[in-house]
């Protein structure tokens, strides 16, 4: 469904009836439903085949809307002013009288919140009386969707409304930061940690390792194309797909480029669509050349590590 005002109205009708819809964000596509309704939230878990223990991110249109459900703190205000709307998710304390369905957090006391930047998402939220719970629009553990057609590929006819907002600009999920006590990164994402550290004026710890698991999304098997993937490969076999960080003069049939010239932002944007393309071509395995481990390259490597645990 292309984007116009009447489609926003249609999407609202679905949501008001506790149904799930697919919709674009600047990071990846989301599978959204009313975060105040347990009936609606349960449908998200069912459609995604997601364990109930893995909590959802709730998307808000404004600071004022968020204040009704969460406790605000100084670090949040600093980061919110600089980066929201945008590719950052904050973990905050839920208020006792919050209306968020207990299924969103699996009865937990903290809530992941985000302010999406995509114009369609913003326009839709303005029409609604509730925030939207929206995990990435893919079956659990599989590749995230960066186009409306990817959402269709994941869910087929089981969702009836997908708003088409074109290709996601960032193409990789938001960075998650816990602000419950000392700030701590729980998931690398579309916003570089160095930018967050600059605003908070201190070093921020990372807790993205599967051993000390806090966010279930830190689990090993995640973002998986469903075929084996190897990192840091210098030379690939001819019968496997070879992902390269930059374009080469020689173009072999099994070569897939993430960017024209070593551009990590462009590479992050292309990562999921590249993996999806390879999977759909029927390759049995993937090799990836070494990706520089700096800036968004760290996020790319994180996703490749998890994808390689298949
Ligand atoms: O860019 C994004 O963040 C996308 C778009 C659609 O907004 N959403 C997304 O959602 O990536 P999802 O559900 O695929 O990943 C959310 C991650 C999961 O790993 C989940 O475990 C973690 O956030 N999470 C959610 N609530 C949490 C909480 N209260 N405490 C710790 N981690 C939480
Ligand atoms: Mg996800």
Query: What average pLDDT is seen over the chain?
Result: 94
Nearest alpha carbon, ligand 1 atom 33: 215
- Between the CA of 111 and the centroid of ligand 1 the distance, in Å, is 10
Question: CB of 180 within 8 A of CB of 69?
Answer: no
Q: Ligand 1, from 84, 133, 139, 173: best to mutate by most atoms within 8 Å of Cβ?
A: 173
Ligand 1 atom showing the smallest separation from residue 31 Cα: 6
Percent of the chain with pLDDT over 90: 89
User: Is residue 125 in contact with ligand 1, taking CB distance under 6 Å?
Assistant: no
Q: What is the pLDDT of residue 1?
A: 64
Length of the chain: 310
> Cα torsion for 56, 62, 64, 66, to the nearest 10°?
10
Tell me: pLDDT of 4 over 70: yes
Q: Ligand 1, from 112, 175, 180, 185: best to mutate by most atoms within 8 Å of Cβ?
A: 112
Tell me: pLDDT of 193 over 90: yes
- Between the CA of 63 and the centroid of ligand 2 the distance, in Å, is 24
Question: CB of 274 within 8 A of CB of 256?
Answer: yes
Provide the edge-to-edge strand list for the sheet that holds 255-257.
229-230, 286-288, 241-244, 255-257
Q: Ligand 1, from 55, 104, 212: best to mutate by most atoms within 8 Å of Cβ?
A: 55
What global pTM score does this model have?
A: 0.96
User: Is residue 75 in contact with ligand 1, taking CB distance under 6 Å?
Assistant: no
Nearest alpha carbon, ligand 1 atom 31: 215
Taken in order 107, 108, 112, 113, the sign of the CA dihedral is positive
Tell me: pLDDT of 210 over 60: no
């Amino acid at each position: 469904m292309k984007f116009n005002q009447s489609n926003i109205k249609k999407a609202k009708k679905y949501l008001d009836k506790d149904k799930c819809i697919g919709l674009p964000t600047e990071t990846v596509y989301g599978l959204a439903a009313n975060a105040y309704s347990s009936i609606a939230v349960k449908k998200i878990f069912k459609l995604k085949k997601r364990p109930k223990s893995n909590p959802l991110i709730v998307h808000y249109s404004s600071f004022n809307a968020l204040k009704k459900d969460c406790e605000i703190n100084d670090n949040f205000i600093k980061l919110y002013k600089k980066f929201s709307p945008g590719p950052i998710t904050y973990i905050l304390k839920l208020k006792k009288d919050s209306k968020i369905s207990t299924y969103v957090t699996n009865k937990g006391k903290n809530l992941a919140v985000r302010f999406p930047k995509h114009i369609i998402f913003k326009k839709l939220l303005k029409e609604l009386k509730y925030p939207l719970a929206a995990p990435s629009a893919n079956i659990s553990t599989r590749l995230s969707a960066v186009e409306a057609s990817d959402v269709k590929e994941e869910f087929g006819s089981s969702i009836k409304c997908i708003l088409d907002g074109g290709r996601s600009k960032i193409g990789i999920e938001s960075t998650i930061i816990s602000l419950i006590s000392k700030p701590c990164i729980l998931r690398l994402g579309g916003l570089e940690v160095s930018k967050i550290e600059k605003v908070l004026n201190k070093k921020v710890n990372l807790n993205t390792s599967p051993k000390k698991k806090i966010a279930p999304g830190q689990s090993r098997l995640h973002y998986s194309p469903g075929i084996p993937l190897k990192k840091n490969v210098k030379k690939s076999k001819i019968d496997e797909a070879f992902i390269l960080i930059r374009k080469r003069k020689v173009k072999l049939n099994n070569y897939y480029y993430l960017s024209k010239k070593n551009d990590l932002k462009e590479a992050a944007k292309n990562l999921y669509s590249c993996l999806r393309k390879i999977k759909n071509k029927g390759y049995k395995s993937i090799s990836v050349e070494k990706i520089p481990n700096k800036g968004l390259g760290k996020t790319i490597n994180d996703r490749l590590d998890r994808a390689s645990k298949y």
